[in-house]
Amino acid sequence: MILNRRHLLLGATATLAGCDRLAGNERFREALFSAENFHKWAQRTLMTRDAMAREFRPDQISPRFRANGTANPNTPEYKAIWRTGFADWRLRVDGRVARPLSLSLAHLHALPHREQITRHDCVEGWSAIGKWRGVPLRPIMEAARLNDRARYLVFHCADDMGGGSAYYESIDMVDAFHPQTILAYALNDRPLSVANGAPLRLRVERQLGYKQAKYLMRIEAVDSLSAIGGGKGGFWEDHAGYDWYAGI
C-alpha cells in the first residue's frame, strides 16, 4: 500500500478527534494546535524522513524492470556520449558549492558503492523491485563542499521533453544525505541500460518514481527552486501539478 503524507495527516486528524473532551479545554487546544507544536509532533511521529525504505531479498527482484517516461533521450548530445560508451560523459556538480566537480563514469565506479534492493512505485500504477548499485550522494556533496545556504539539489537530465525543456527533479538535504540516496550506475548487476537511465540516475527511495531522475548530466545546489524550470522543483511538478514531495 502506498501511504503518502496526505493519508498520514488524515489518520492524524482521526486520532485527534478522539481527544475531543480534552480539546474542550481552551488552553489545551491552543497548545495542541499551535503551529509550532503541531509541526514538532508531526515531524516526530509522522514524517520520520530519516527512516530507511524497505529493502527486499534477491529472490524478490522483478523479472523485468520496465522503462517509463523517456526510454532514449535521442538528442545529438546524448547520442555523442552514448557512442563512446559514455567515456566522454561527465557529471557536473556545481551551484552553491565551494569546489565544483566534474566526474567521469570511471571515477564514480572507483568510489565506494552501495547496493540496495528496493521497490519503485510509479504514480501511473505499477511497481517493480530492482537491485541498484551506485555511489551514495552524501560523500559527493561533501567533496564538493556544499555551501551552508544550499537548500536543494537540482538534477538536470539529458532528455528534452519538448520545446527545449529538459527533464529535471530536485530534493532537499534530508533526502540528499539519506543513506539510501545513491547515484546508480547498475541495475540487477548490469550496467544501467539506456531505457533505465544510462549512464547514471538518482535513487531516492522514500519517494515515487518520477523523482528518480534518469540520464543525469548535472547536479546543481541552489537555495531556491523558483528560478529553475517552471519553479515547482521538477518537470512533472511544473507541467502536471505533481507534488514536489512524493513520499511513499
Ligand X SMILES: Nc1nc2c(c(=O)[nH]1)N[C@H]1C(S)=C(S)[C@@H](COP(=O)(O)O)O[C@H]1N2
Tell me which residues touch ligand X (CB under 6 A): 66-70, 122, 157, 159, 167, 196-197, 209-210, 212-215
The residue among 56 and 242 lying less far from Mo ion, judged by its C-beta, is 242
Residue 117 touches which of Mo ion, ligand X, none (Cβ within 5-8 Å per kind): none
The residue among 53 and 143 lying less far from Mo ion, judged by its C-beta, is 53
Residue 6 touches which of Mo ion, ligand X, none (Cβ within 5-8 Å per kind): none
Residue 86 touches which of ligand X, Mo ion, none (Cβ within 5-8 Å per kind): none
User: Least distance from C-beta 161 to ligand X, angstroms?
Assistant: 7
Quick check: 122 binds Mo ion (CB under 5 A)? yes
Residue nearest to ligand X (CB): 69
Q: What is the DSSP string of 143-210?
A: HTTB-TT--EEEEEEEEE-STTPEEEEEEEHHHHT-TT-EEEEEETTEEPPTTTTTT-EEE-TTB-GG
Quick check: 86 binds Mo ion (CB under 5 A)? no
d(CA 220, CA 235) in angstroms, rounded, equals 15
- Phi and psi angles of residue 4, each rounded to the nearest 5 degrees, phi first: -110, 180
Based on its alpha-carbon atoms, the radius of gyration of the chain, rounded to whole angstroms, reads 20
Beta strands in the chain (DSSP E): 91-95, 101-103, 114-122, 126-136, 152-160, 166-172, 182-187, 190-191, 201-203, 216-222
User: Least distance from C-beta 110 to Mo ion, angstroms?
Assistant: 31
Quick check: 210 binds Mo ion (CB under 5 A)? yes
d(CA 152, CA 222) in angstroms, rounded, equals 5
The residue among 53 and 122 lying less far from ligand X, judged by its C-beta, is 122
User: Least distance from C-beta 210 to ligand X, angstroms?
Assistant: 4
The residue among 146 and 233 lying less far from ligand X, judged by its C-beta, is 233
Binding site for Mo ion (CB under 5 A): 122, 209-210
